[in-house]
Amino acid sequence: MKLIRMLLSIAFIAFLTGGILTGCDGFINQEKPIINENPDQGNQDIKDSEKNAPPTEKEQTPNQDQKDQNKTDEKDNPYANAPKVDPTEYHEKAIQVVAEPNDVAILVNKQYRLPDQYEPDDLVYPDVPFIFSEKVEKRKLRKVAAKALEKMFAAAEKDGVYLAGASGYRSQSTQVTIYNNYVDQDGKEKADRYSARPGHSEHQTGLSIDVSGISAECAVEECFADTAEAKWVADHAHEHGFIIRYPKDKENLTGYIYEPWHIRYVGKELAKEIFEQDITLEEYYNVAIPVNENK
């Protein structure tokens, strides 16, 4: 009996000692798991982290993409911050001098004028036929436009269409004479519909040229639109970097009557975009307020 009591006592002491050695959580020489003693604080940390995290793509505001696009458009568009005006009239207070007159994508119209007496420094004589034989200034174009014109005329010839130049570069002094003659003939209001005031002429850029058929039939006249040459130009000019600068039914945007003969070099990429969207240079830059032609 004494032996049994002794053994029970030893076992009881061992049990107590073991509990002390292992601790109340039962881990021996092991790292206890980290337990957040304040669960509310942990949830708050997560919430704060989520609050400060950058928005995901799906969390962007609905208009974010459009705003970013508008910023890009404004950066790329040198005319983005200009006031919109009725393009059919000259608004003296709204007229601005273009900052980059040598840019092939330049906009010159009744609102935007060239620097006074501007003359391109790379004018050359394109190797194409003209409806006149004299070697005068209106045979000239800027080099980049001249090379493009040569390729366009060659492409037309392959299709059995024979084009000729009618009037290319025009100095400001020449435009003064031309415009004043038209004003004397038809009055200023009517002249402004088909002739640019000095400094506002696209011909002065050296990037524009009036074209015709080699026969000069209907040269610089509305009937040119019905010729095979005009139809070829309308369909293929953009392939060579040219646009019909004053298209039909767009006078309320360009400020000038339909001129199927007047083409303007803007580069292949821009010409393609304008052609495919069937828009004017004014619409491309979004600078004009369209007006009612019957106002």
* Catalytic annotation, pick one of 202, 229, 251, 259: 259
Q: Residue 184 falls within a domain, yes or no?
A: no
Q: What ranges in the chain are assigned the alpha helix state H? A: 2-22, 39-52, 64-76, 143-158, 172-186, 188-191, 228-236, 251-254, 268-277, 281-285
Q: Could you read off the pLDDT of 18-33 as tens digits, one per residue?
A: 443 333 333 333 333 3
State how far the Cα of 60 lies from the Cα of 273, in Å rounded to an integer: 30
Torsion of CA 221, 222, 225, 228, to 10 degrees: -40
Is residue 101 a part of any domain in this protein?
Answer: no
Domain harbouring 260, CATH code: 3.30.1380.10
**pTM of the complete model:** 0.73
The reply to whether 31 belongs to the active site is: no
pLDDT at 174: 98
Q: Which residues pair with 213 in a beta bridge?
A: 163
Report if residue 82 sits inside a domain.
no
Residue 17 falls inside a structural domain: no
Residue 84 resides in a domain: no
Beta bridge partners of 142: 123
Would residue 34 count as lying in a domain? no
Q: Residue 145: inside a domain, yes or no?
A: yes
Q: Total domain count for the chain?
A: 1
For 161, the domain range is 118-169+206-285
Which ranges of the chain have pLDDT less than 70?
1-75, 291-295
Tokens standing for 285?
Answer: 């830059």
Q: What's the Cα-to-Cα distance from 255 to each of 83, 101, 106, 181, 219, rounded to whole Å?
A: 16, 20, 17, 20, 21
252, 258 contact by CB (below 8 A): no
Tell whether 108 is covered by a domain.
Answer: no
